[in-house]
Structure 1
Amino acid sequence: MNNILNKEKLNWKEKTEKFVSTRATKVILEKIQNNNCILISGPPGVGKTANAYCVAFILEKTHKFMVMEVNACDLHKYALSNMNQVFIIDDVFGRYCCDTDFSLICSSLRAVLDYHTNTKIIMTCRSQIYHLVQNQLASENVSFAQCDFLSDELQLSVNERREIGESYINSGIISELKDNVFMLYSFFPSICIIFAACKEQENFFTYPSSYITYEVKNIKLKSNETYLVLALLVVLDNVVEEIVLDEHNVKTNVMLRDIITESGILQTPSKGLLLSFLRSLDGTFVKKCDRGFTFMHKYMFNMMVGCIGHNFIRSILKYGSIDFVQKRMRLPCLLENIDSFMINVTKDLYNEYFTKLIRDISRGYISTVFANKQMSSAKFRREIIPHFEKHLKAKDVVDAKDKSTVIHKVSSLGYTDLLAYFVQNDMPNIDKQDSDGKTALHLAVLHRHQHIAEILLQQKADVHLRDSDSRSAIHIACNNGDLHMVDMLIKHKAHINKRDKLGFTPLHLACIRGLTEVVELLVQEKAKLNKVDDIGRTPFYVACEMNRLDIVRVLLQQQTMNHIHIEESKNGFTPLHIACEKEHTDIVETLLKYGANVNRPLKSNDTPMKIAKRHGHKDIIKLLRKYEEINTIQK
Structure 2
Amino acid sequence: MTTLITMEESNYIKIALLLLRISPRAVRIQFDYEIHPDCLNETLNSNICKLKDLKIKRHINQEQWNLLFPRTGEGSSKHFDSTLMICLIRNLTPIQISDILPISTNISVGTDLSRIKFYRNKIAHSEDGFISSIDFQYYWNDIKMALLRLGGVSMETECDTLYAKEFDISQREDHLSFIKTQNKLIKLEEELVKVTERVEMLELKLNDPIPKNLKDLFAKEIKLWKKEMMTFYITTGATKVLKKIENDSFVVITGNSGMGKSAISHYIALTLEMNNGYQIIPLTDVCDIVKYYNASQNQIFIIDDIFGRYSVEKSILHSLERLNSKIRSIRTENSTFRILATCRLLISNTPIFKKFSQMFQTVECNLLSKEFEATVAEKKKIAACYIDQKTITRISDDMVRGIDMFPLLCVIHRNRKQKTKILLFKNPYDEFEKELDEMYDNNKSCILGLALLVIHNNNLQKDLFYDNIQFREAFDAIVNYFNLPSRPTLQYVLSCLQTLKEIYISEKANTITTLHDKIFDIIALYFGKKIPKIILQHANGNFIRDRIQFASLNKEHDEFTILIPPELECVYFVRMGMEIERKSFVNVFNTQQMKHEFFKKKL
- Same fold, judged at TM 0.5 (above): no
Q: Which range, TM-score by smaller chain? A: 0.3 to 0.5
Greater Cα radius of gyration, structure 1 or 2: 1
**If the length of structure 1 is used for normalisation, what is the TM-score?**
0.36
**If the length of structure 2 is used for normalisation, what is the TM-score?**
0.38
Higher helix share: 2
